[in-house]
Structure 1
Amino acid sequence: MLRVLIAEDETDLADSVAEGLRAERHVVEVAYDGASALSLAEAFSFDVILLDRDLPLLSGDSVCRALTALRHPARIIMVTAASLPGASVEGLDLGADEYITKPFGFDDLLARLRAVERRQASAALDLTWRDLSLDSAARRVTRSGRPIELAPKEFDCLRVLLASAGRVVPFSEFADRVWPVDSEPSRGAVKAVIHSLRRKLGQPDPLETQHGLGYRLGQP
C-alpha cells in the first residue's frame, strides 16, 4: 500500500484514477491545482506524486522544481501530453523520476506503483533516526542500543513514522497502514497507541504532536 498524491486539473480523470487506486488499497489525496499540490506535499508524507505538467495556479514544472529543491522523498511520476515533443526529457531534467504520457492505461500506472512498492520493501527493512533503530524483518527496536519491547500496533506506528522522513503522518494514514482494512479506528484509538509508544520510547520524547493533524518525528 502506497500513499499517493494525484496532482491533476482534469477533475474527471483525477477522480477516476483516485477511485481506482483506492480500490487497490492505496491511500490517495487529490489536488486540482499546483499550489494545492505543493502545499499537500510539503505538509504530508507521500510515496508517489502523480504530477501533471499543465496545472493552474502553479505549473507542474514549478512544483517539481520546488520538491526537488526540498529533497522530497516521494517518487515523482510526471504526466505529459503525448503531442509535446521532448516533454518527457524536460520532465526528467526538472527532477521527476519517470514519466507517463496521456492517455495512459490504468494497468500501466499500477505496474509503476508495484515497482515502487518493491523498491520500498527492499529499502525499508532497517530504519533509523537519531538513536532509534528499527529492524522490520526481526520486528526489533532499539534506542541507544537498548532493546525496547513494543506491541504490534506500536511497532507498526513507529515504522510508519520512521519511513515518513520527518513529515506529518495524519491520523488517517495510521488507520490505513496499521489497522486492518475492514476496521475504522477512531482518533482516540490512534492517540492511545501513540501515547503508549511514547511512554516506552522514553525521554527525550522523539515525537511531535501536530494538533488536529497527526504526528511526526521531532526536528533535529
Structure 2
Amino acid sequence: MRVLVVEDEPYLAEAVRDGLRLAAVPADVAPDGARALEMLRENRYDVVVLDRDLPVVPGDEVARVVAATPDGPRVLMLTAADRLDDKASGFALGADDYLVKPFAMRELVLRVRAVARRAGPGRPPVLEAEGVRLDPFRREVHREGHHVPLTRKQFAVLEVLMAADGGVVSAEDLLEQAWDAHADPFTGAVRVTMSTLRSRLGAPAVIHTVTGVGYRFGGPAAPAP
C-alpha cells in the first residue's frame, strides 16, 4: 500500500507522512492540488489523504479527477470543514471516507488501511499463508504461532508479497508499493531487505526468487537454472 498526502501546511503534512511511515505505510507529500495531480499521473497510489482547502488546484477538484479515474486510488478527506453539509458534499465528490481535523494519528492510520482494503477484490484484513500470519492493523507478524519482529520496511515488503496471493512481484513493483517517491530505482534496497526479511522469517523459506522476474510468497521454490 502506498499513500499520497495532499496538504499545504508543511508541519501537518510531514506529521501525517511520518505517522503513516511509522505504521509501515509508505507515503509521499504533495503541497498543493496541482502537484498532487502530477504525482497521481507519475505514481500508483492506493489512498489519497486529501485536504479540501488547497492552493493552485482545490482539493475538491482533485477528488473529482480521482473519482473519474478508472481503478484510481481511494480518497480520504482530511479537513477542518466539519459541518454535515461539508461531509455530504465531500462524499458526493467521490470521497470514500471523511476525517475532521484535529484528529488522532492512530485513527487516521486505521481509516487509511480500511479504505485501502476496499480497493481490492475482498482482501481480508489479516493475511495468512504458509504458516505466516500478518495483521496490518496491529502491525504484527507470526509464523507458526511465534512472533516475528520486523522493521517497518520488512513489514511493508512482506505485506505486498502476501497480498499478491501467490503472484510474482517485480523489484520495480516492490519499490513502487513499499518505498516512497524518493526511492532510487538503481539501489540494492529491495535485494538487501529481501535477504534480511527471509532471515527473520526463518526456514523453510517462504519467499522465493523467480529469476529475471521478481519474488513470490509461498509455493515451491523455483528450480535452479
TM bucket normalised to smaller: 0.5 to 0.7
Tell me how far apart the structure 1 counterparts of residues 79 and 11 of structure 2 sit (CA, whole Å). 17
Tell me how far apart the structure 1 counterparts of residues 2 and 110 of structure 2 sit (CA, whole Å). 15
Cα RMSD for the two superposed structures: 3.8
- Name 1:157's counterpart in structure 2: 170
Aligned residues: 159
The superposition leaves residues 99-147 of structure 1 with CA deviations (integer Å, 9 ceiling, x where unpaired) of 111111101101112324554484499xxxxxxxxx944x25xxxxxxx
Tell me how far apart the structure 1 counterparts of residues 25 and 11 of structure 2 sit (CA, whole Å). 19
- Name 1:94's counterpart in structure 2: 93
Contact 1:27–1:176 (CA under 8 A) maintained in structure 2: no
Tell me how far apart the structure 2 counterparts of residues 98 and 176 of structure 1 sit (CA, whole Å). 34
Larger fraction in helix: 1
1:84 Cα deviation after fit: 4.0
- Name 2:14's counterpart in structure 1: 15
Tell me how far apart the structure 2 counterparts of residues 12 and 66 of structure 1 sit (CA, whole Å). 26
1:157 Cα deviation after fit: 1.6
Tell me how far apart the structure 1 counterparts of residues 192 and 45 of structure 2 sit (CA, whole Å). 19
The 3 A distance-change label for structure 1 pair 79 and 177 is farther
1:75-90 alignment, distance < 5 Å: 75-90=74-89
The 3 A distance-change label for structure 1 pair 182 and 7 is farther
Gaps of 5+ in 2: 128-162, 197-208, 215-225
Q: TM-score, normalised by structure 1?
A: 0.59
- Name 1:40's counterpart in structure 2: 39
Gaps of 5+ in 1: 126-134, 141-154, 184-192, 199-220
- Name 1:145's counterpart in structure 2: none
Q: TM-score, normalised by structure 2?
A: 0.58
The 3 A distance-change label for structure 1 pair 123 and 38 is same
Q: What one-letter code is carried by the residue in structure 2 that aligns with 1:157?
A: S
Q: What one-letter code is carried by the residue in structure 2 that aligns with 1:172?
A: A
- Name 1:205's counterpart in structure 2: none
- Identity percentage of aligned residues: 35
The 3 A distance-change label for structure 1 pair 99 and 179 is farther
The 3 A distance-change label for structure 1 pair 195 and 42 is farther
Contact 1:27–1:173 (CA under 8 A) maintained in structure 2: no
1:170 Cα deviation after fit: 6.9
Tell me how far apart the structure 2 counterparts of residues 106 and 176 of structure 1 sit (CA, whole Å). 28
1:83 Cα deviation after fit: 4.4
